[in-house]
Amino acid sequence: MSEQVQNQNEEQTQPQFEFAMPNHAQRRNMLRQQKVLKVKNEMHSMSKHAVDFREAQRENGRKIHESNLDRIEKQQSEFMEAKLVNVKSGWVSQGYNDQEIIILEEAWKITTFKNKKTWHADKKRARNLMKQAEESRNQRNNQ
């Protein structure tokens, strides 16, 4: 029975975050509510416990930041994949074949994901690819 109570206490002390992890201010507020910061402020700033606490908080913050970046990147990639599927279905309805869709997909990726250093050349290349796909479709339809 005491093991169950102890396990429940451990589960309550470690918050479970389903979506976004708490930011720095939210984590500070949690520590303040738990009176951890009050105890930490009573310690000497260079004591072993205070240094260990700061290092643990830094590491925890780094992990949370990395997980947030991974989550955002995953959401963006899923959104762009869905967008590409919609665009491809539009190209199919316009009469493009598989080869032309591959060319148009490359042009779409070039124009969607911009590189500040090469955006002008990329824009020209994307236009050429779109023109090539359009010419291919027109030739195929005229025959």
Q: pLDDT, tens digit, for every residue of 40-59?
A: 888 898 999 899 999 998 99
Share of the chain above pLDDT 70, in %: 86
Query: Amino acid identity, residue 108?
Result: W
Mean pLDDT of the chain: 86
Q: How far apart are CA 143 and CA 97, in angstroms?
A: 15
Domain boundaries, the chain: 20-94, 95-143
